[in-house]
Amino acid sequence: MKIRTAKYIVKEGILNVYKNKLMSLASIGIIIASLLLFGIFLLIVLNLDHNTRALESIPQLEVFCNYNLDETLVADVEKAIREDDRIAEYHMVTKKEAFEKLKEKFKGNEDILEGYDESFLPVSFIIKLKDPRDSSEIKEKFENMDKVESVEWPQKSIELITKASSWIKIISGILIAILLIISVFIISNTIKLTVFARRKEISIMKYIGATDWFIRWPFIVEGVIIGIIGAVVALILSSYAYRAVEVKLGNDIVSVSMGFFEMLKFKDVVLVLVLFYSFLGGVVGAIGSVVSLRKHLRV
């Protein structure tokens, strides 16, 4: 293709967006709507994904030894933990450390602990698992050791949350796929209307010897421009909406104190959004043009 032809094609594509203002606006509106819907699900999935990873990184289990174990017996428990290859790492909480923690907890009311020392507290091990799905098995294994008093989950609900989040991810994935198909359909249908309105023009071009690609390219440029405009508007809207949710959730005492729900910063998701939006807007617009033109090029 020669440069002057490329110039003609780009100019024609831009002019067509402008000349068919109403149609372009309609297409842009539909693209914005589909992209926003798509964006909502994408952001939910991204945040869930991020938080599942955060969940996995917090201590999964705490193994409490019998409080009257002496050091050699504690070392036996430690050895069992060290030799279990499903455990990524562990940290021993000594009686002293446990007592410090307790004192911190009762800060301001230290007199409650008066007369006590660390000897009544058990030694514990905070262990981090390689795979959170092993947690119940490991819990059972250590509970059956007679030197171990109990094994606790730092968050009782952790199992439930992991399960729920994986379901939400699957459902969002399906919804995104459906939305994607619907968007492609709507966008290509809108372009079909534009093409139909100009079918006479297309046939004239064919009669005077224009190649199919010479006719197609301006439509593709038009589709891409409409898609990109839609993507930009959708991006601006999503950025405002996301920030608003972020502020609301950030101030929410429950989610903060629970400590396991952390929203991604907007700057962390913006690149993914830009990529998805421009890809969907632009490429779908272009493909829509080509598909809708096919019938009218057979002259």
Partner 1 sequence: MVEFRNVTKKYSNGTVALKNVSFKIEKGEFVFIIGPSGSGKSTLMKLIMKEEVPTEGDVFVNGYEVSAMDMYDVPYLRRSLGIVFQDFRLLPNKTVYENVAFAMQITEALPRDIRRQVPMALALVGLSKKANVYPAQLSGGEQQRVALARALVNNPSLLIADEPTGNLDPETSMEIMRLLCEINHRGTTVIVATHEKSIVDMLKKRVIALDKGVLARDQQKGIYTNEDKNSQIYS
Q: Which stretch binds partner 1 (CB under 8 A): 77-85, 142-150, 197-205, 244-252?
A: 197-205
Q: Of 67, 153, 214, 266, which one interacts with partner 1 (CB under 8 A)?
A: 214
- Residue closer to partner 1 by CB (options 21, 200) is 200
Q: Of 21, 85, 208, 271, which one interacts with partner 1 (CB under 8 A)?
A: 208
Quick check: 4 binds partner 1 (CB under 8 A)? yes
- Residue closer to partner 1 by CB (options 8, 153) is 8
Quick check: 204 binds partner 1 (CB under 8 A)? yes
**Cα–Cα distance, 196 to 4 (Å, whole number):** 27
Residues 267/268/274/280 CA torsion (nearest 10 deg): -150
**Cα–Cα distance, 1 to 223 (Å, whole number):** 20
Quick check: 209 binds partner 1 (CB under 8 A)? yes
Angle formed by the axes of helices 135-143 and 71-83, nearest 10°: 150
In the complex, what is the shortest distance from the CB of residue 29 to partner 1, in angstroms, rounded to a whole number? 24
Residues 6+ apart with CB under 8 A from 205: 214, 215
Q: Of 26, 80, 210, 291, which one interacts with partner 1 (CB under 8 A)?
A: 210
The contacts found for 130-134 with CB under 8 angstroms, 24 or more apart, are: 130/85, 130/86, 130/87, 130/88, 131/86, 132/55, 132/56, 132/60, 132/158, 132/162, 134/86
Helices (H) and strands (E) in the chain, counts: 11, 4
Q: Which stretch binds partner 1 (CB under 8 A): 76-84, 129-137, 211-219, 238-246?
A: 211-219
Quick check: 8 binds partner 1 (CB under 8 A)? yes
**E-assigned strand segments in the chain:** 61-65, 87-93, 124-129, 148-152
Neighbouring C-alpha atoms within 13 Å toward the C-beta of 69: 23
Q: Which stretch binds partner 1 (CB under 8 A): 30-38, 117-125, 195-203, 259-267?
A: 195-203
Residues 6+ apart with CB under 8 A from 113: 102, 103, 106
Quick check: 19 binds partner 1 (CB under 8 A)? yes
Quick check: 67 binds partner 1 (CB under 8 A)? no
Q: Which stretch binds partner 1 (CB under 8 A): 79-87, 137-145, 210-218, 261-269?
A: 210-218
Which pair of tokens denotes residue 217?
A: 């390219």
- Residue closer to partner 1 by CB (options 53, 200) is 200
Angle formed by the axes of helices 212-250 and 199-207, nearest 10°: 140
Residues 6+ apart with CB under 8 A from 21: none
Residues 174/285/28/275 CA torsion (nearest 10 deg): 60
Binding string, residues 250-269; x marks residues near partner 1 by CB under 8 A? --------------------
In the complex, what is the shortest distance from the CB of residue 210 to partner 1, in angstroms, rounded to a whole number? 4
- Residue closer to partner 1 by CB (options 141, 206) is 206
Cα 225 to chain centroid distance, Å, stands at 27
In the complex, what is the shortest distance from the CB of residue 40 to partner 1, in angstroms, rounded to a whole number? 40
Q: Of 164, 211, 265, 268, which one interacts with partner 1 (CB under 8 A)?
A: 211
Q: Which stretch binds partner 1 (CB under 8 A): 142-150, 165-173, 202-210, 250-258?
A: 202-210
Contact positions vs partner 1 (CB under 8 A) = 2, 4-5, 8, 19, 200-201, 203-212, 214, 299
